[in-house]
């Protein structure tokens, strides 16, 4: 089965599903093999994903970018909608024990913050068009990535080397180094293959390379059964999937087209281990059906005390809730994790300078959680350049 919604899992998948990926050829499972799922799940009535973008798009091939002569520029509202719809669809399509309303307790602020970054100086309209194509297509992919998302690495900005920046998408070199929420970075050329990436150069390798033993090296393919990532994709014939072990959650290469693979979307495995199905796949249970920690409910429902139920609304502050399924009363969010009971509860959203973070709390809009201090603060007004 897929990983449960623990704090560590939430931390792992958030950058995968919310941040626009600059992916390098990794092959991830397309779990769109359940065409009846939308009819079975009332909460999954979000926009249908469109996978019209092609991962072979390049900056020179403008005809494939969707930027037609005279076309109106994309707006932040359009990109925010695509971000929300793409992520909601991806969650509902691939994971059980979730509802649309529950997921939307988390995503709006994250999408708005991500979208604002692609309207910074230097970011091209072609990049924004590619980002929308990525979000529009990700609903059919359990990883949150689609081939269209890989195309983002082909679009560069207009800021020349030495210019202050916040995001690599602003730079003509495709690399912005040293940027934080409070300090501008600098556009510069990535290190060549074999370049020294120790110390302050640790994040200066090109997008298709990684810092390995102090030197930038082109990513090698991961073998079956070995750990994989965006910078270390699987060898042909295997797929990179999440796996759970006693040591934590990571991704592992699983052989394609065998009985040892993840069950199709909307189904559950009769015998699962390390997120891989070694038995028969059957439909996930719906309301009233029996469920447990391994056999979760179909999306739109949540497992509670051994049986599937619909998501709750207006859950009181302090009451137990299910993350990504139940909705708390106005001004609160299902975010506080209790280790002894392994459960979440509704908590009033954190105010300025109050604690935030995974398993602790979410900030009240428009505040954001400072990743360094884990305290709520005002959104950055830093201008680079």
Q: What is the DSSP string of 148-165?
A: HHHGGGG---SBPTT-EE
> CB-based contacts of 381: which residues, under 8 Å, 6+ apart?
none
What is the widest separation between alpha-carbon atoms in the chain?
Answer: 61
In tens digits, the chain (385 residues) has pLDDT values of: 333 344 433 433 343 333 343 332 222 223 333 323 333 333 333 333 333 333 332 333 333 444 556 679 999 999 999 999 988 887 777 677 888 898 888 778 788 888 989 999 999 999 999 999 989 987 766 544 566 776 777 788 999 999 999 998 999 998 898 888 889 999 999 998 899 999 888 888 876 677 878 888 876 677 777 777 655 667 666 666 654 444 444 567 766 544 445 666 677 776 655 455 666 778 888 999 998 776 778 888 898 889 999 999 999 999 999 988 999 999 999 999 999 988 999 999 999 999 999 899 999 988 988 888 999 999 888 889 8
Work out the angle at residue 164's Cα, subtended by the Cα atoms of residues 163 and 167, and round it to the nearest 5 degrees. 110
Residue 111: how many other CB atoms lie within 10 Å: 22
Residue 343 corresponds to which tokens in the numbers above?
Answer: 């459960």
The H-assigned helical ranges of 48-165 are 76-94, 100-103, 107-117, 125-137, 147-150
pLDDT score, position 78: 95
DSSP 8-state class, residue 141: -
Coil vs helix vs strand at 320: strand
Nearest to 21 by CA among 201, 120, 151, 111: 151
With 0-12 / 13-18 / 19 or more C-beta atoms within 10 angstroms meaning exposed / middle / buried, residue 104 is: middle
Instruction: Tokens 């028969």: give the residue.
Output: 280
Coil vs helix vs strand at 138: helix
Q: d(Cα 357, Cα 335) in Å, to the nearest integer?
A: 9
pLDDT score, position 75: 95
Residue 204: how many other CB atoms lie within 10 Å: 19
> CB-based contacts of 383: which residues, under 8 Å, 6+ apart?
none
Q: What are phi and psi of 113, to 5 degrees?
A: -65, -40
Question: Are the C-beta atoms of 18 and 115 separated by less than 8 Å?
Answer: no
Nearest to 3 by CA among 293, 238, 264, 281: 293
Q: d(Cα 318, Cα 303) in Å, to the nearest integer?
A: 20
* pTM of structure: 0.67
């Amino acid at each position: 089965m897929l990983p449960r919604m623990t704090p560590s899992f939430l931390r792992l998948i958030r950058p995968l599903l919310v941040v626009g990926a600059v992916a390098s050829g990794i092959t991830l499972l397309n779990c769109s093999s359940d065409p009846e799922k939308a009819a079975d799940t009332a909460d999954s009535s979000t926009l249908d994903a469109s996978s019209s973008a092609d991962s072979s798009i390049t900056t020179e091939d403008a005809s494939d970018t969707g930027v037609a002569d005279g076309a109106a520029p994309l707006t932040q509202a359009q990109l925010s909608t695509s971000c929300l719809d793409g992520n909601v669809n991806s969650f509902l399509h691939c994971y059980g024990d979730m509802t649309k309303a529950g997921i939307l307790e988390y995503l709006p602020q994250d999408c708005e913050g991500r979208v604002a970054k692609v309207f910074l100086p230097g970011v091209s309209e072609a990049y924004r068009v590619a980002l929308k194509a990525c979000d529009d297509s990700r609903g059919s992919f359990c990883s949150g990535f689609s081939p269209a998302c890989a195309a983002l690495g082909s679009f560069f900005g207009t800021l020349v080397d030495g210019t202050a920046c916040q995001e690599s998408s602003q730079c003509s070199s495709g690399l912005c180094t040293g940027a934080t929420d409070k300090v501008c970075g600098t556009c510069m050329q990535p290190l060549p293959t074999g370049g020294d990436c120790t110390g302050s150069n640790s994040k200066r390798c090109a997008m298709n390379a990684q810092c390995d033993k102090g030197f930038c090296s082109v990513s090698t393919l991961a073998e079956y059964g070995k750990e994989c990532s965006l910078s270390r994709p699987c060898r042909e014939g295997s797929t990179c999937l999440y796996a759970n072990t006693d040591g934590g959650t990571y991704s592992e290469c699983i052989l394609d087209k065998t009985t040892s693979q993840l069950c199709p979307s909307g189904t559950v495995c009769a015998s699962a281990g390390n997120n891989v199905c070694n038995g028969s796949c059957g439909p996930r249970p719906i309301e009233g059906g029996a469920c447990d920690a391994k056999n979760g409910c179909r999306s739109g429902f949540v497992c509670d005390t051994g049986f599937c139920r619909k998501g709750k609304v207006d859950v009181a502050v302090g009451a137990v809730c299910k993350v990504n399924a139940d909705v708390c009363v106005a001004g609160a969010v299902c975010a506080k994790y209790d280790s002894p009971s392994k459960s979440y509860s509704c908590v009033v959203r954190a105010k300025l300078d109050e604690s935030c973070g995974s398993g602790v709390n979410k900030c009240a809009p428009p505040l954001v959680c400072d990743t360094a201090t884990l305290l709520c603060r005002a959104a950055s007004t830093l201008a680079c350049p």
